[in-house]
């Protein structure tokens, strides 16, 4: 058996509070609460973004006609 603090009840997709009455014909679901962390994912992304070097090499990109810029630059040279 699960402790009552570890589950919550939803009625027609909405969270049902503890003093809510049960309605006949409604769709109920009993769902287990998930233990979450304390966050910090955004700061991890910012730290990782500072470590990644920005590239200025655009030779693998294509122009509007579909040709690679590397090939266009080689033809010009």
Q: Is 64 helix (H, G, I), strand (E, B) or coil?
A: coil
Q: Is residue 18 part of a domain?
A: yes
Q: Is residue 44 part of a domain?
A: no
Residue at 19 is within a domain: yes
Q: Residue 2 belongs to what domain range? A: 1-34
Let me know if residue 12 belongs to a domain. yes
pLDDT for the residue 4: 81
Task: Tell me the per-residue pLDDT of 19-66, one tens digit each, with 9 for 90 and over.
Answer: 777 878 888 888 888 877 777 888 888 888 888 887 888 899 999 999
* pTM attached to this predicted model: 0.39
Is 4 within the bounds of a domain?
yes
Q: Count of domains in the chain?
A: 1
**pLDDT for residue 18 is more than 80:** no
Compute the 3-state secondary structure of the chain and give helix, strand, coil in percent, each to the nearest 5: 30, 20, 55
């Amino acid at each position: 058996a699960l402790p009552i603090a570890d589950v919550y009840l939803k009625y027609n997709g909405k969270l049902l509070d503890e003093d809510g009455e049960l309605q006949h014909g409604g769709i109920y679901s009993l769902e287990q609460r998930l233990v979450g962390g304390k966050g910090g994912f955004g700061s991890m992304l910012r730290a990782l973004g500072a470590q990644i070097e920005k590239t200025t090499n655009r030779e693998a990109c294509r122009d509007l006609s579909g040709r690679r810029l590397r090939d266009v630059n080689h033809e010009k040279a």
